[in-house]
Amino acid sequence: ELGRQPQLREVAGIPLQASTVDNWSQIQNFEAKPDDLLICTYPKSGTTWIQEIVDMIEQNGDMEKCQRAIIQHRHPFIEWARPPHPSGVEKARAMPSPRTLRTHLPTQLLPPSFWKNNCKFLYVARNAKDCMVSYYHFQRMNQMLPDPGTWEEYFETFISGKVCWGSWYDHVKGWWEMKDRYQILFLFYEDIKKDPKHEIQKVMQFMGKNLDETILDKIVQETSFEKMKENPMTNRSTVPKSILDQSISPFMRKGTVGDWKSHFTVAQNERFDKIYRKKMEGTSINFCMEL
Ligand code: PPS
């Protein structure tokens, strides 16, 4: 049997999907507008979760309005391209303002108009170990990404940053460094998990919204992992199996903090910690990976 074929191609040293690279000039020339809100994440860091939170805030807690389309269609994915379908850029252009968009691009590859227009950015970071585990299972089931190989192999691939959208370390550090220069709300997956109401409140304020307590509580409930796993508008169940094979691993897999403990060996963990300290030297970001 032939293995999976998708190859990644690099732009300025960052591996990306070939279809994204083919469409690169359209992506780089994307015209952001000052009232755009851009959801930025490294893959598997809580993108879908924050998208649903943002949409519920935008819709003032009206769940029916959030059911208008699958989550992938509500917020255009800037670098997404799969001809002959309209690209993320084309979908964004066709969308009325104010727009909420999403990207996994590192800061240096972001279309420059986002910086020029001083847009609002909502960044969600997730601790590297859980991110690696989640990405591994995602690459097993996502037929559009390279086969991850064994866990041992993937461990090395992830550490060396040879995954789609590049190195976790550089991504997180890059966005962290931008946060005092631009309008960036920097959130952590682990914080949202621990105190969703508090973090959702921060998002609401950042968006310039003021929703009452009952609505906030409703948003907390509707965006729980359990609810989103059952929700066909958020759980990717409408994506064909030839693209996402959820019988291999569900898109809404576990939604927990600390699942790395059931994957990392003691030796891998020691090696990881050593490399991590070196790569993250000099930054003030604090991820709690013991949780
Ligand atoms: S993607 O493909 O990059 O857009 O994936 P992304 O949405 O960023 O990340 C998927 C992981 O987030 C988990 N998830 C959640 N966790 C907690 N609460 C909610 N509501 C939620 N929704 C999605 C999802 O289960 C993936 O993590 P793992 O660890 O694999 O379960």
pLDDT tens for 17-42 read 999 999 999 999 999 999 999 999 99
Exactly one of 75, 104, 137, 171 is catalytic; name it: 104
Q: Bigger pLDDT: 4 or 154? A: 154
Q: Which atom of ligand 1 is nearest to the CA of 41?
A: 8
Residue 160: count other Cβ atoms within 10 Å of its Cβ.
10
CB burial readout 266-290, b (16+ within 10 A) else e: eebeeebeeebeebbeeeeeebebe
198 alpha carbon – ligand 1 mean position (Å): 19
Q: What is the pLDDT of residue 287?
A: 86
Residue nearest to atom 14 of ligand 1 (CA): 255
Q: Which atom of ligand 1 is nearest to the CA of 228?
A: 20
* Residue 2 pLDDT level (bands cut at 50, 70, 90): low
Residue 218: count other Cβ atoms within 10 Å of its Cβ.
15
* Pocket test residue of 16, 49, 225 for ligand 1, highest count of atoms within 8 A of CB: 49
Global pTM reads: 0.97
- Residues in contact with ligand 1 by the CB-under-6-Å rule are 41, 43-49, 130, 134, 137-138, 223-225, 228, 252-255, 259
The stretch 130-145 carries a mean pLDDT of: 97
Q: Bigger pLDDT: 1 or 270? A: 270
**In the predicted model, what is the mean pLDDT of the chain?**
96
Give pLDDT tens digits for 108-117: 999 999 999 9
ipTM of the complex: 0.99
Residue 1 has pLDDT above 50, yes or no: no
Give pLDDT tens digits for 66-95: 999 999 999 999 999 999 999 999 999 999
